[in-house]
Structure 1
């Protein structure tokens, strides 16, 4: 099977590539250090599988998985991450990801998971299965957008202008967000949403 590795940490990417190449039935046909590069390689090399880190520059692993699904590219996707966050996991499932594994798993486990996924199965790390029971994201798309902008330090006036809303409407959204997240203030709301992987 042909595999592309997308991981922004060079040392880890190199180690994974070297170890996977020792497997007789796995060929690493490309390595990417960011999500944009991963998409280019996927289109060029047409791999069977793509192993994606979540937190990468330019495009996250989840952005890449969503793009693969949107473009109907026949490439199975596996997320390998250090983050056992409910929001990330739920987004990955929506994007049609076939594997969701933690980085601290041994490479032999990753190779075995890739084989299962290649033959049509789905592999989810047991620790991550618990996140299915966690609460789902209570924020609407618009509320997430406003919270992301608050996280960047944009003011109510700036958000209102950029989203073509009145300042009063933006304040109402913020108050609704704080209620839903039981947050003490805006900074607290951003921190809660980020810790659960509900905004990125």
Structure 2
């Protein structure tokens, strides 16, 4: 299988490429130092699979995955992460990623996961899967609805009008959501909820 590897830390990228290249059935066809380069390589090389670091300059691994889904590109996506944030996982799955793995996985396990994804399966590091089950959305449906509208720039009065509530009730929901998310204000609360995939 032909693989494009995207990781912004040069040493780690080089080591992973060298070790994966030792596997009989894996060819590292290209290496990228940022998301944009990864996107361009995937377009040029049509690999079977791309392994994308989640945090990269210019475009994140999730941005690349979303673009691939949008353009209906057949390349399968495996996301590598050091973060066990459930929002990242939800966004990756929504973007069609087939794998979500920890970066410090032994290369033999990474190769096995790539084979499984290539064969049409999924691969998620068990430690990540466990933490995602535990990280439930703290917001109730009404709080999500109100935060979403606040994120679109609507005032408490506008939101109240749209949802047939009083402005005071809307402010109560907002302050409840801000507290639950340990946010500084409603803008911060929107950003936190958005990042964790809790507004969908």
How does the TM-score come out when normalised to structure 2?
A: 0.77
Secondary structure of the residue aligned to 1:136 is coil
Equivalent residues, number: 182
Is 1:87–1:136's contact at 8 Å kept on the other side of the alignment? no
**Residues 1:35 and 2:35 are matched in the alignment:** yes
Show the counterpart of 1:111.
Answer: 111
Show the counterpart of 1:69.
Answer: 69
Residue among 158, 167, 177 paired with 1:180: 177
Show the counterpart of 1:136.
Answer: 137
CA separation of 1:82/1:144 partners in 2, compared to 1, >3 Å: closer, same or farther? farther
Give, in whole Å, the separation in 2 of the partners of 1:41 and 1:145: 38
Is 1:35–1:59's contact at 8 Å kept on the other side of the alignment? yes
CA separation of 1:186/1:164 partners in 2, compared to 1, >3 Å: closer, same or farther? closer
Is 1:8–1:34's contact at 8 Å kept on the other side of the alignment? yes
Shift of 1:6: 0.7
The 5 A counterparts of 1:4-153 are 4-130=4-130, 131-136=132-137, 138=139, 143=147
**Residues 1:198 and 2:196 are matched in the alignment:** yes
Secondary structure of the residue aligned to 2:52 is strand
Larger radius of gyration: 2
Give, in whole Å, the separation in 2 of the partners of 1:37 and 1:143: 35
Secondary structure of the residue aligned to 1:57 is coil
Gaps of 5+ in 2: 160-166
Shift of 1:174: 8.8
Shift of 1:164: 7.2
CA separation of 1:141/1:42 partners in 2, compared to 1, >3 Å: closer, same or farther? farther
Give, in whole Å, the separation in 1 of the partners of 2:20 and 2:134: 33
Show the counterpart of 1:155.
Answer: none
CA separation of 1:42/1:184 partners in 2, compared to 1, >3 Å: closer, same or farther? closer
Give, in whole Å, the separation in 1 of the partners of 2:175 and 2:59: 28
Which is further off, 116-125 or 176-185? Answer: 176-185
Gaps of 5+ in 1: 148-162
How does the TM-score come out when normalised to structure 1?
A: 0.77
Aligned structure 1 segments of 4 or more residues deviating by more than 6 angstroms: 144-147, 172-175
Give, in whole Å, the separation in 2 of the partners of 1:40 and 1:174: 46
